[in-house]
Amino acid sequence: MRLWAFLLSVYWVSFVTYFVLWKSYKHVSNLRATARSTPDFKPEEFAVLVRDVPRSSPDETIKDSVDSYFRALHPNTFYRSMVVTDHTKADKIYLEIEDHKKKIARAEVLYANSKTESNPEGIKPTHRTGFLGLIGKKVDTIEYCSEQIKELLPKLEAEQKTTLRDKQQQAAIVFFNSRSVAASASQTLHAQVFDKWTVMEAPEPRDIIWPNLSRNIYERQIRQVVVYSIVFLTVVFYMVPITAVSAISTLENLRKVLPFLKVVVDRPAIKTVLQAYLPQIALIVFLALLPAFLMFLSKAEGIPSQSHAVRATSGKYFYFVVFNVFLVYTLGKTLFTSLRTILDNANIGVIINMLATSLPGGATFFLTFVALKFFVGYGLELSRLIPLIIFHLKRKYLCKTEDEVKAAWAPGDLGYSTRVPNDMLIATVVLCYSVMAPLIIPFGVAYFALGWLIAKNQVLRVYVPSYESNGRMWPHMHTRIIAALLLYQATMIGVIGLKKFIYSPILAPLLPISFIFAYICHMRFYPAFANTPLEVAQHELKETPNMDAIYTAYIPQCLKPDKLEDLDVFEDAQSHSTSRAPSI
Amino acid sequence: MRLWAFLLSVYWVSFVTYFVLWKSYKHVSNLRATARSTPDFKPEEFAVLVRDVPRSSPDETIKDSVDSYFRALHPNTFYRSMVVTDHTKADKIYLEIEDHKKKIARAEVLYANSKTESNPEGIKPTHRTGFLGLIGKKVDTIEYCSEQIKELLPKLEAEQKTTLRDKQQQAAIVFFNSRSVAASASQTLHAQVFDKWTVMEAPEPRDIIWPNLSRNIYERQIRQVVVYSIVFLTVVFYMVPITAVSAISTLENLRKVLPFLKVVVDRPAIKTVLQAYLPQIALIVFLALLPAFLMFLSKAEGIPSQSHAVRATSGKYFYFVVFNVFLVYTLGKTLFTSLRTILDNANIGVIINMLATSLPGGATFFLTFVALKFFVGYGLELSRLIPLIIFHLKRKYLCKTEDEVKAAWAPGDLGYSTRVPNDMLIATVVLCYSVMAPLIIPFGVAYFALGWLIAKNQVLRVYVPSYESNGRMWPHMHTRIIAALLLYQATMIGVIGLKKFIYSPILAPLLPISFIFAYICHMRFYPAFANTPLEVAQHELKETPNMDAIYTAYIPQCLKPDKLEDLDVFEDAQSHSTSRAPSI
């Protein structure tokens, strides 16, 4: 009787999950359509990103090649194009100038503050020109920096000219004079051969990873293979240190390994706390080191936009946490004793069996894991204690000008790349223990209910998004939740099978049902996420779009002439530079 | 030493196959681009097939819905649309009229021939109106049929009106005023929701399967699942009778089962021939029964064009022959003895092992199989002996009019649906035995070399293609050849492994290499087969296309008014029928 209830609960949980997933996908899909059909125009809606631009002859510039190709294929709708340039050097000079400007602003504030009553002249701020301002000649900051800027500006101007003329890359952003034409062009195969003129929807200007745009298709493929091999190795071999942490971080082991801790560890109050939270804290600290590495790998793949790189990172991180936290922590205790068994019988049946045996043992650990995330994680998130401390320290000792204080206060982005996979891990844990240790459900519900309120508050009132992907994160999360559900269903078949319950095969249909559900969702909702439907792109605009503003939005900071109004010369450079000549 | 040569040969054969496949794909791809960019226009290049048309309100016709939707999304390029109608009934009446016309023509010839010198009046041909012309009233054929036509014509006219107005289906063919717009529209996602307004390239007019166009997306999905289940069952359970044939059709068994054959079988000359060819003849006869069934299944899937249905049939048939001829015939002899072993250890290792053991035994069988196909098959193909006999019989006893003789002579289509998978089977057999029984190679080379000459001759001078798919069959064949290659490589690993040759794992990399090769080919060439690249569609036309002719090409025969010039009334019907009203 108890096993029957157990078995039916698995069905119940699965179907509730399907229902929630379906509703959410539909909801996000509608939100996306609404967001994309607003009467305000966005620059990316008129642009298409073109990669793998071929150079037909050595004396033709890439700009000419792009223009002639697109003007031939879209004679009435092509507006103009912008060739991607290698502006690393120009960017470096530009940042140097900006840095000097900041130094001047800072020095002026310091100078003004130093004018006290006793010393009405004030002290002119100085610094040393050598390494880190510690060695070298001592100079007057304001004078020195102004001179530097005067020297750098012509250099920047020259570099801009060279960049625009000689450093054109094999990629371009092509602008069309209507949203629906751009949407249609981004979905149409242009060239007969696959390795030339590949088109896709243009990312938002602030979302673009410029150096990745010009990588050609072969390089992208090879980089992807290499990156995925590295990720695979990382996921599999991070297991080794984590398993060690899991084995050591019981109090008994700790006392054995580090005998000097005995005094602390043996006090009853401390002992209780440590026993409950030590392994969890170790684990959380451990996981904090990874995202930056995975982000680096994702960008190395040649992905053209930040938002896509964040999704790629989040995906890698999710499979990492499931494999290394969930599986390894579950098997952790039995792992050392049964490593031989695994190595000798490395097949799926044995692994599911072993998982089923050891899963119940992990219940307490994961209950505390969810609780800890819930209490400590949300507390930190809401109070923003650490950013607050950092801000106050910065304001006291580092920030001098208004701008610096503003920069120190800036809350930044939401950090999808770690937040999403961590929430997905909680979802996985809650799903997998929902039937075996139902006590985890209220914690899970509380985690996500409160998480909804808190995240909503933080998104609306605290964080400043650095780009907008119109809900493209959702299909990605959807797939991962389905993966979690499949893991849950497979383990449950194992767990119930272990109890020699003859009706346990009744659970088997759940796995194909999940696959079919995933397929249907993908077919039903995904196309409108992958591409912009014409219906949506066709919506009326509030006003005629200012095509010049759209074009200007895509010019990288360091190549923008507006920032340097004092330089009339640059205006000329703009008009005869091939990359910025008006095309229509 | 011998095993090393063996092992290296497998690599050699694989790489030669890769090379040939790559070159062929490239060649076909270029041919396709050339064919699609000819200056002559084809109607399908200006059209897009739209399915799953929603009906916004009950009083709006589907025609209005299509027109308003496409005019909104393609304001400058939409030409007009043609809603698909359920014209089964009109078609029936139309065919009846045609049938009567034929009867009149035939009767007139008979009547003219009967006017001999002795009987200058001649005998008026008569027939009975009942079942098969055997029972019922005897009537004068010419008079009766003329009356029937007179009765049917107004009926047809009325039915055409009803069909065009009231039998509109949820599918349409939409015409654009340029090739590149149509190409682009067919690749662009139109609706936000997946189950409405699905677009694809329009098939050629004569290629369309009308009843399938109006099936909605859910019906198509469900039909596909059902059809694939039936195909799976067919592929697996056809094994049973084939195995029986293979076991029975040795002479010894035959003599035992059918003792009265003893007299024939024991003559040495007959014995030799029978021993060599009996199993092969049984197999070939057996296989002839299947294609029609698979074609029926493919059409039932809801595929919109004949050419696609032929590809689908060919695919099903290929997996059928590989599973049922190649695998079962190879395992055939050991199958009865080792059925228990398979059932007890149903895993992939055991099956590969068993295959490796029994493959060498099949060498002689398949050598004769290829030889038989070569000598008898090509002989029949070239001489077209059977069609010739049928033609002469028909001309002598059935055909009376010129048209009937022409129809009897018509050679028809090439019959891709059986020809392709049969050739693929030969390729599979030759690949799999190439290293083990190299004698098969000259036969294989001769088969395909002569096949090339013969097929070229037949295609250019004999067969009349009923549609043109511009080489879309090739990607399909490519995939099947790769499947054959994988089967070959897997078996070779088994065969060499069986000989306890410790270096046999050196072959293992071939499997991933084949997958990578298949992936690269698919990525490199397939997109230009799946969609028309803009580059190709943009080519200049020789003359301004006659949009009216393009539109007319898609009107089904039975709804075409031209056939019935005597009916002026119909012209009116055309102009106020919703489905054919000019849109621009």
Closest residue of A to B73, CA-based? A538
**Structure confidence at residue A546 (pLDDT):** 80
Same domain, B35 and B175: no
How large is the greatest C-alpha to C-alpha distance in chain B, in angstroms? 93
Same domain, A119 and A94: yes
Same domain, B474 and B531: yes
Residues of A in contact with B533 (CB under 8 A): 189-192
What average pLDDT does the segment A233-248 reach?
70
Among candidate residues A197, A210, A174, A215, the one with its CA nearest the CA of residue A85: A210
- Taking residue B20's Cβ as centre, other Cβ atoms within 10 Å add up to 11
CB A142 within 8 A of CB A108: yes
Q: Which two tokens stand for residue A549?
A: 């503003």
Q: Measure the CA–CA gap between B353 and B358, rounded to whole angstroms.
A: 9
**Structure confidence at residue B499 (pLDDT):** 74
Among candidate residues A2, A3, A1, A9, the one with its CA nearest the CA of residue A432: A9
**Structure confidence at residue A579 (pLDDT):** 38
Q: Which two tokens stand for residue B93?
A: 């009446």
- Taking residue B352's Cβ as centre, other Cβ atoms within 10 Å add up to 17
> What are the backbone angles phi and psi of residue B79, rounded to the nearest 5°?
-95, -70
CB B173 within 8 A of CB B84: yes
Among candidate residues A460, A584, A546, the one with its CA nearest the CA of residue A42: A546
Shortest distance, CA B435 to any CA of chain A (angstroms): 33
Same domain, B149 and B165: no
CA distances from B463 to A67, B47, B80, B327, B392 (A): 46, 28, 35, 33, 18
- Residue A515 confidence (pLDDT) above 90: yes
- What is the percentage of chain A residues whose pLDDT exceeds 70? 82
Chain A: residues touching B (Cβ < 8 Å) = 29, 33, 72-73, 76, 180, 183-185, 187-195, 197, 523-525, 527-528, 531-536, 538
Of these ranges, A4-13, A514-523, A547-556, the one predicted with the greatest mean pLDDT is A514-523
Tell me which H or E stretch contains A126: strand A126-128
**Structure confidence at residue B575 (pLDDT):** 35
Among candidate residues A225, A415, A432, A164, the one with its CA nearest the CA of residue A310: A415
Q: Measure the CA–CA gap between A183 and A204, rounded to whole angstroms.
A: 14
pLDDT tens track for A386-424: 888 888 888 777 777 777 788 777 777 887 888 888 888
Helices (H), A361-433: 363-372, 378-383, 385-397, 402-409, 416-433
**Structure confidence at residue A393 (pLDDT):** 84
- Taking residue A511's Cβ as centre, other Cβ atoms within 10 Å add up to 14
Q: How confident is the model at residue A581 (pLDDT cuts 50, 70, 90)?
A: very low
- Residue A365 confidence (pLDDT) above 80: no
Residues of B in contact with A521 (CB under 8 A): none
Burial bucket for residue B383 (CB in 10 Å: 0-12, 13-18, 19+)? exposed
Residues of B in contact with A347 (CB under 8 A): none
Shortest distance, CA B228 to any CA of chain A (angstroms): 15
Tell whether B130 is covered by a domain: yes
B33, B189, B534: residue with CB nearest A534: B189
Question: Do B73 and A532 count as a contact with CB atoms less than 8 A apart?
Answer: no
Residues of B in contact with A29 (CB under 8 A): 192
Q: Which two tokens stand for residue B227?
A: 């059809």
Same domain, B166 and B79: yes
Q: Which residues of chain B have pLDDT under 50?
A: 336, 562-584
**Quick check: helix, strand or coil at residue B324?**
helix
Tell whether A99 is covered by a domain: yes
Q: Which two tokens stand for residue B574?
A: 């055309």
Among candidate residues A101, A126, A97, the one with its CA nearest the CA of residue A111: A126
What residue has token string 């306890």?
B500
Question: Do B183 and A188 count as a contact with CB atoms less than 8 A apart?
Answer: yes
**Structure confidence at residue B346 (pLDDT):** 53
Interface test with B, best of A26, A37, A66, A189 (most B CBs within 10 A): A189
Question: Do B187 and A190 count as a contact with CB atoms less than 8 A apart?
Answer: no
CB B301 within 8 A of CB B229: no
- Residue A284 confidence (pLDDT) above 50: yes
Residues of B in contact with A194 (CB under 8 A): 523-525, 527-528
B76, B188, B194: residue with CB nearest A534: B188
What average pLDDT does the segment A309-319 reach?
89
**Structure confidence at residue A276 (pLDDT):** 66
Q: How many domains, chain A?
A: 2
A72, A76, A533: residue with CB nearest B189: A533
Same domain, A173 and A127: no
Domain limits for position B97: 90-156
> What are the backbone angles phi and psi of residue A413, rounded to the nearest 5°?
-85, 170
What angle (nearest 5°) sits at the alpha carbon of residue A367, between those of residues A366 and A372?
Answer: 90
Q: Measure the CA–CA gap between A213 and A84, rounded to whole angstroms.
A: 8
Which residues, 6 or more positions from A428, have their beta carbon under 8 angstroms from its beta carbon?
A322, A326, A484, A487, A488
**Structure confidence at residue A355 (pLDDT):** 65
Tell whether B188 is covered by a domain: yes
Question: Do A533 and B72 count as a contact with CB atoms less than 8 A apart?
Answer: no
Question: Do B194 and A527 count as a contact with CB atoms less than 8 A apart?
Answer: yes
Same domain, A57 and A148: no
CB A441 within 8 A of CB A494: no
Tell me the sheet residues that pair with B140: B126
Residues of B in contact with A195 (CB under 8 A): 524
Q: How confident is the model at residue A582 (pLDDT cuts 50, 70, 90)?
A: very low
**Structure confidence at residue A478 (pLDDT):** 93
Tell how strand B47-51 and strand B168-176 pair up: antiparallel
Question: Do A189 and B527 count as a contact with CB atoms less than 8 A apart?
Answer: yes
Q: Measure the CA–CA gap between A372 and A366, rounded to whole angstroms.
A: 10
Same domain, B72 and B193: yes
Burial bucket for residue A285 (CB in 10 Å: 0-12, 13-18, 19+)? exposed
Chains A–B, number of C-beta pairs less than 8 Å apart:
80
Tell whether B146 is covered by a domain: yes
- Taking residue B207's Cβ as centre, other Cβ atoms within 10 Å add up to 19
Residue type, B205: P
Q: Measure the CA–CA gap between A559 and A85, rounded to whole angstroms.
A: 10
Among candidate residues A332, A322, A365, the one with its CA nearest the CA of residue A482: A322
Same domain, B6 and B146: no
**Quick check: helix, strand or coil at residue B169?**
strand
Closest residue of B to A69, CA-based? B535
What would the DSSP string read from start to end of B218-251?
HHHHHHHHHHHHHHHHHHHHTHHHHHHHHHHTSH
Which of B139, B156, B173 is at the close of a domain?
B156
B29, B189, B531: residue with CB nearest A527: B189
Interface test with B, best of A69, A70, A197, A535 (most B CBs within 10 A): A535
Question: Do A523 and B194 count as a contact with CB atoms less than 8 A apart?
Answer: yes
A73, A194, A528: residue with CB nearest B192: A528
Tell whether B553 is covered by a domain: yes
CB A105 within 8 A of CB A401: yes
**Quick check: helix, strand or coil at residue B436?**
coil
Closest residue of B to A72, CA-based? B538
Which of B136, B156, B176 is at the close of a domain?
B156
Residues of A in contact with B535 (CB under 8 A): 73, 190-192, 197
Question: Do B195 and A524 count as a contact with CB atoms less than 8 A apart?
Answer: yes
Q: Which two tokens stand for residue A505?
A: 């095969």
Among candidate residues A25, A46, A48, A526, the one with its CA nearest the CA of residue B192: A526
pLDDT higher at A86 or B19: B19
Same domain, B117 and B1: no
Q: Which two tokens stand for residue B342?
A: 């398979």
Residue type, A350: V
CA distances from B510 to A550, B44, B488 (A): 51, 42, 10
Shortest distance, CA B184 to any CA of chain A (angstroms): 6
Q: What number of helices (H) and strands (E) belong to chain B? A: 26, 6
Tell whether A398 is covered by a domain: no
Residues of A in contact with B29 (CB under 8 A): 192
Question: Do A538 and B190 count as a contact with CB atoms less than 8 A apart?
Answer: no
Q: Which two tokens stand for residue A313?
A: 């990172």
Tell whether A415 is covered by a domain: no
Q: Measure the CA–CA gap between A159 and B570, rounded to whole angstroms.
A: 75
Interface test with A, best of B26, B66, B189, B526 (most A CBs within 10 A): B189
Q: Which two tokens stand for residue B298?
A: 């493919």
Residues of A in contact with B192 (CB under 8 A): 29, 33, 528, 533, 535-536
Domain containing residue A184: CATH number: 3.30.70.330
Q: How confident is the model at residue A253 (pLDDT cuts 50, 70, 90)?
A: low
**Structure confidence at residue B421 (pLDDT):** 86
Closest residue of B to A531, CA-based? B189
Chain B: residues touching A (Cβ < 8 Å) = 29, 33, 72-73, 76, 180, 183-185, 187-195, 197, 523-525, 527-528, 531-536, 538
Interface test with A, best of B535, B538, B540 (most A CBs within 10 A): B535
Shortest distance, CA A538 to any CA of chain B (angstroms): 6
B76, B193, B534: residue with CB nearest A189: B534
Same domain, B5 and B109: no
Closest residue of A to B530, CA-based? A189
Closest residue of A to B526, CA-based? A194
Q: Which two tokens stand for residue B216?
A: 């909605």
Closest residue of A to B37, CA-based? A192
Q: Which two tokens stand for residue A543?
A: 């006003």
Q: What is the pTM of this model?
A: 0.77
Closest residue of B to A186, CA-based? B188
CA distances from A226 to A229, A292, B186, B516 (A): 5, 18, 36, 14
Q: Measure the CA–CA gap between A117 and B428, rounded to whole angstroms.
A: 98
Instruction: Look over chain A and give the mean of its residue pLDDT values, rounded to a whole number.
Output: 79
Among candidate residues A189, A195, A202, the one with its CA nearest the CA of residue A73: A189
Tell me the sheet residues that pair with A168: A85
Tell whether B126 is covered by a domain: yes
Among candidate residues B296, B328, B325, B321, the one with its CA nearest the CA of residue B310: B296
Q: Which two tokens stand for residue A525?
A: 């909702």
Q: Measure the CA–CA gap between A144 and A129, rounded to whole angstroms.
A: 9
Which residues, 6 or more positions from A409, have their beta carbon under 8 angstroms from its beta carbon?
A391
B197, B525, B535: residue with CB nearest A190: B535
Of these ranges, A215-224, A460-469, B54-63, the one predicted with the greatest mean pLDDT is A215-224
- Taking residue B60's Cβ as centre, other Cβ atoms within 10 Å add up to 11
Shortest distance, CA A180 to any CA of chain B (angstroms): 8
A191, A195, A532: residue with CB nearest B533: A191
Q: Measure the CA–CA gap between A138 and A128, rounded to whole angstroms.
A: 4
Question: Do A535 and B192 count as a contact with CB atoms less than 8 A apart?
Answer: yes
> What are the backbone angles phi and psi of residue B194, rounded to the nearest 5°?
-75, -25
pLDDT tens track for A37-77: 777 778 888 899 998 888 777 778 888 888 888 888 888 88
Closest residue of B to A34, CA-based? B192
CA distances from B13 to A556, B435, B440, B489 (A): 53, 8, 13, 10
Residues of B in contact with A532 (CB under 8 A): 189
Q: Measure the CA–CA gap between B197 and B55, rounded to whole angstroms.
A: 11
Same domain, B490 and B517: yes
Shortest distance, CA B526 to any CA of chain A (angstroms): 9
A33, A188, A532: residue with CB nearest B187: A188
